[in-house]
Amino acid sequence: MLVLKFGGTSVGSVENIEKVKTIVDDNAPKIVVLSAMSGSTNNLVAIAEAILHNQTEAALKLIAQLKEKNKQTAYHLIQNSSVLQEVVNYINQIDNTLLSFTHNNSIPNFQNTVLAQGELFSTFLVNAYLNEQGIASSIIPALDFMRVDKEGEPDLFYIQQNIKRLLSQQKDTQIFITQGFISLDARGEVTNLQRGGSDYTATIIGAAIKAEEVQIWTDIDGFHNNDPRFVENTYSIPQLSFDEAAELAYFGAKILHPQTVLPVRALDIPVRLKNTMQPEAEGTLISNEISSEGIKAIAAKDGITVIKIKSERMLLAHGFLKRVFEIFEKYQTAIDMVTTSEIAVSLTIDNTQFLDEIVAELEKFSAVTVEDKMSIVCLAGNNIVNHPETSKLFQILNDVSIRMIAYGGSNNNISLLINTQDKPNTLQQLNHYIFKTQVASVAPSV
Ligand code: ASP
Ligand code: MG
């Protein structure tokens, strides 16, 4: 069995939903995981915020806009009047749920219940449409099998038992449709797998049913060797190992939720990234295979803050780093890059929620400096650390000021910390040095 996940753009317009139909309608048994229509989760976040802040008028306006958007899509997609009526009834049901929260939002996890409406609608709509088109699909509700434990980790045993039960109840169905992103928590309340979490849903399901393959259908043709927003002539990478994908996932978060490959990697279930708008394009296959060595991809992440911690006491002292790391642990702040000298350590974070508290604690025993607006540039590829071509990348030291270099942390990654303003130049120059293309700038599209 295959698991196919379609993202927000793929279900975001009548035209694209028609493309989804063509892709899924091939008589092979599959589970289809859908995101909310593009923009819907953002709309629902705004609705939940407005309700939470008692901005009832604003909330009512946003709820009405969402209802109208959903109705327009349904009217354009569905021809059969009784099927259309069912969809409209469902839209009204969602509308009533959202409206009820403007009177009373005291139910637990009300915000998550609001956010869940996006996936609940997209799956209802697409299932109704496929049925109208004569395709035998049916919904298996994510809230009937998807559950995370107290730590927010998928409860694989529970998921496996329940999904198997649901599938076995409908032996003749070929296409099962379910909601990405939404889940129950350990107490049985509605929660979600964080923004972009539908990819993660797909691989959790893939692991639970031991799928042959998990396909992530999106609006680009896989992982590119560099960021196409800043560099011309990038190309999609046909194959990545799980290690390479794990290194890039954090940087390619817009393409793939960072945790996506975790559930399937140990089971050796490949993940294929495909483009709904261009199904014939090869995309990227993520699998256990190591197809080549050397730098394969460059990616960058903005919004990085670097903290430099300097202390003479660090010289020949043991336990210094433990003391530093314990502070980050206390504030549940993940550290991404670390470099050390004899008397100083620099590290980066992307979550600055507790930055002031962290700095205050560090200052008790060291001198601390903080710089923001930094970016991490990641170069990934199997065994790049030992590869003869890798030295080429260090020509970049002539072009931009590099604040930190992480080399040797893994064989598959080298990371550079730069000022975000130097990012376009860094990506273009690295492209030139490594992939031998001309330095050519394109205007950023975002
Ligand atoms: N709809 C959710 C979001 O926009 C989950 C997803 O699309 O993956 O974040
Ligand atoms: Mg996504």
pLDDT, tens digit (0-9, with 9 covering 90-100), for 36-49: 999 999 999 999 99
Torsion angle of C-alpha atoms 428, 432, 437, 443, degrees rounded to 10: 10
Q: List, by residue range, all CATH 3.30.2130.10 domains of the chain.
A: 297-435
State whether the beta carbon of 12 lies less than 6 angstroms from ligand 1: no
Smallest CA-to-CA distance from 346 within 319, 374, 381, 317 is with 374
- Rounded to the nearest angstrom, the distance between the alpha carbon of 92 and the centre of ligand 2 is 27
pLDDT, tens digit, 9 for 90 and up, residues 360-378: 999 999 999 999 999 999 9
pLDDT, tens digit, 9 for 90 and up, residues 264-300: 999 999 999 999 999 999 999 999 998 889 999 999 9
Which atom of ligand 1 lies at the shortest distance from residue 7's CA? 7
Angle of CA points 444, 20, 198, to nearest 5°: 65
79-91 mean pLDDT? 98
Contacts of 14 (CB under 8 A, 6+ apart): 73, 76, 77
- The yes-or-no verdict on residue 147 having pLDDT over 50 is yes
Tokens 């697409």, residue?
A: 126
- Which residue out of 35, 47, 219, 255 has the highest number of ligand 1 atoms within 8 Å of its CB and is therefore the one to mutate? 35
Tokens 């296409």, residue?
A: 175
The residue type at 386: N
- Rounded to the nearest angstrom, the distance between the alpha carbon of 8 and the centre of ligand 1 is 7
Supply the residue whose CA is at minimum distance from atom 5 of ligand 1.
196
Nearest ligand for residue 218 CA? 2
pLDDT at position 247 is 87
Nearest ligand for residue 43 CA? 1
Which superfamily does CATH assign the domain made up of 2-219 to?
Acetylglutamate kinase-like (3.40.1160.10)
- CA dist., res. 118 & res. 98, Å (int): 11
- CA dist., res. 298 & res. 432, Å (int): 12
- CA dist., res. 320 & res. 314, Å (int): 6
72-94 mean pLDDT? 97
104-118 mean pLDDT? 92
Q: Write the class of the CATH domain 297-435.
A: alpha beta
State whether the beta carbon of 118 lies less than 6 angstroms from ligand 1: yes
Tokens found for residue 386: 């030992």
pTM, full prediction: 0.88
State whether the beta carbon of 181 lies less than 6 angstroms from ligand 1: yes
- Rounded to the nearest angstrom, the distance between the alpha carbon of 87 and the centre of ligand 1 is 21
- The yes-or-no verdict on residue 439 having pLDDT over 70 is no
Give the SS3 label for residue 380.
strand
Q: List, by residue range, all CATH 3.40.1160.10 domains of the chain.
A: 2-219
The DSSP element (H or E) to which 348 belongs, if any, is strand 344-349
Which atom of ligand 1 lies at the shortest distance from residue 118's CA? 1
- Rounded to the nearest angstrom, the distance between the alpha carbon of 176 and the centre of ligand 1 is 19
Tokens found for residue 31: 């589970």
Contacts of 211 (CB under 8 A, 6+ apart): 1, 2, 3, 31, 205, 264, 269
Q: Give how far Cα 96 sits from Cα of 13, 118, 401, Å.
A: 24, 14, 56
